[in-house]
Chains A and B, each alone.
Chain A
Amino acid sequence: MTSPHTTTLSRAGRSPVLLGLAGLVTLAGLLEALPRSGVLPAEYLPPTSTILAALVEQFGRAEFWLALGLTLRTWLTGLAISLSAGLILGIVIGSVPALRAATASTIEFLRPIPSVALIPLAVVLYGSGMRATLLLVIYASFWQILLQVLHGVTDVDPLARETANSYRISRLRQARHLVWPTTLPYAMTGVRLSAAVALILTLTGELVIGTPGLGNEIANASGSIAIPAQYALVVVAGLTGVMANVVTRTAERKVLAWHPSVRKEVAV
């Protein structure tokens, strides 16, 4: 309600992309101006331009690209393992009521165990190698996808199921044309959540355990008090996260193009 002339319609007409860009530019500008003017300590919070310069410097280092590649490898390997395990187990457990009843309490108990509780175990079992971090990544992201798939498989509309039974549609065809389409939106939500959690745990493992990768580079930069480099690496970690979100959301939209819920988020 800024003025009587700006109706909701005209405000909506203003390009949200431009507004969003303006937001990013404002943030960058503030983070440039505040440390420079001395409002924020430039020593700890370097201005945007310094961080960008450090970022460019990182791009020139072979070690940086190696670390980024290792991080992506750990992340995607862990994600692939937990997604396939979660999808298969979710469908199997979800479609057999007896299995579901027998495993419910165990799943409810194991799921909230914080994955970082496994850090000491991972270290004594695997040292600081990639497998130690993989253990954390898989444990954390497996539950996300498993629970979503379990929800999905059991969410089949009873009316549709009875109709299918009345028409004597075989179990296999029911699985293909009834259970799978019901499960898919849930599974895609699971994929998105798993991907985000897996990235967090990948960087945690690298940071805390010392598995080679971006997180370990950040720990090194912090150890040698290379503050702009540290911020630059944090920016890279953020961009990796953005990429993960964009990819999973695009995949979701593509895979579920037929589904009415594509416009509405599935409740988690």
Chain B
Amino acid sequence: MTAIMRRIGLALGLPVVLLAVWWFVSADSQDLYQPPLGRIFAVFPSTWTAERLAEDVLPSVSRLLVGYAFAVTLGVTFGVLIGSGRTLRAFLEPTLEFLRAIPPPVLVPILILIAGFGDVTKVLVIVIGGFWPVLLNTVEGVRGTDEVLGDTCRSYRIAGPLRLRTFVLQAASPQIMTGARQALSISIIMMVISEIMGTTDGLGYAIIEFQRGFQIPEMWSGVFLLGGLGVLLAMLFRMAERRLLIWYYGVRAEVRGGIH
């Protein structure tokens, strides 16, 4: 019982102290740009009403999820193709090296120019941002599969979809998940950028509108909401990762335990 209390105390201690310090230091703040924390909390419910959540947050999140799903699917598909062929990999490597080095935000103005301000552009922006980490990690994962296992598959004539599902994707999954995690944070960044740079709805748009209208406490509350969204998605991702990679943690613990 005390152990659990201790853990809760440790987990909540520092955040509570930090928030308390912020609360009291900012309590009498007259600075327009750094409003008291109490005021930010006070405007939160009236700013993020159900209506606003439906109008601004829901479109953002759905674009994010659609774009992210596309990015992961495309990244894994092309990653497996490129990772399996040695010649293809050598052929494409420098090209991919260049393309992935382009910071995705600089492509946003070009995409807006080509495809306009619509939902397609905004989703596309997210796909382009999230695609590269998944692709490159999948290529690495597929390339790094155990050769003995590969030969075993060949000996038993395990090929096609069965080989893909039970061997290639399975063996590469820790790396794929690493890529998917990086892609998630890039996707959120791209979502906000696409909304700041040209749109009429979305969380990023709402926050920038508050800033331009000098509604600073409302702006801060939006920053909190966006931060909360990032934290929530990261938590969901970790839960999914734990489920998918449970076998891998077992193997790794075994290998480490075997050393001593």
Chain A contacts to B: CB under 8 angstroms: 8, 11-12, 14, 16, 19-24, 27, 44-45, 101-106, 109, 111-121, 123-125, 157-159, 199-200, 203-204, 207-208, 214-215, 218-219, 222, 225, 227, 230-231, 233-234, 237-242, 244-245, 264-265, 267-268
Contact = CB atoms under 8 A, between A and B. Distances in A.
Contact of A116 (B98, B101, B102, B192): B192
A199 B94 contact: no
22 contacts: A19-B87, A20-B92, A24-B95, A44-B110, A105-B15, A106-B14, A114-B227, A117-B192, A199-B103, A200-B105, A204-B193, A207-B193, A215-B105, A222-B110, A234-B107, A234-B110, A237-B106, A238-B99, A239-B98, A239-B101, A241-B100, A242-B98
B98 A230 contact: no
A124 B189 contact: no
Given A113-B230, A208-B197, A267-B175, 19 more contacts: A16-B90, A16-B93, A19-B87, A20-B92, A23-B91, A23-B93, A23-B94, A44-B114, A101-B10, A105-B15, A106-B15, A112-B227, A116-B204, A204-B189, A207-B106, A225-B113, A227-B113, A230-B113, A264-B144
B208 to A, nearest CB: 6
A199 B226 CA distance: 22
B65 to A, nearest CB: 15
A146 to B, nearest CB: 15
Nearest to B232: A112
B39 to A, nearest CB: 15
A239 B148 CA distance: 39
Label chain B's interface by main secondary structure. Answer: helix
B211 A120 contact: yes
Contacts of A102: 10, 13-14
B53 to A, nearest CB: 17
Q: Which of B100, B108, B114, B189 has the most CB of A within 10 A?
A: B189
Interface residues of B, number: 65
B50 interface: no
B101 A11 contact: no
Contacts of A120: 207-208, 210-211, 219, 222-223
B227 to A, nearest CB: 4
Interface string B52-95: 00000000000000000000000000000000001100111111
Contacts of A19: 87, 90-91
A241 B102 contact: yes
Interface of B: 10-15, 18, 33, 86-87, 90-95, 97-110, 112-114, 140, 144, 174-175, 178, 182, 185-186, 188-189, 192-193, 196-197, 204, 207-208, 210-211, 216, 219-220, 222-223, 226-227, 230-231, 233-234, 259-260
Contacts of A265: 140
A168 B15 CA distance: 38
Nearest to A159: B260
Given A120-B207, A157-B259, A114 B192 contact: yes
A267 B106 contact: no
A104 B14 CA distance: 9
B102 A234 contact: yes
Contacts of B204: 116
A215 B103 CA distance: 10
Contacts of A264: 144
B205 to A, nearest CB: 11
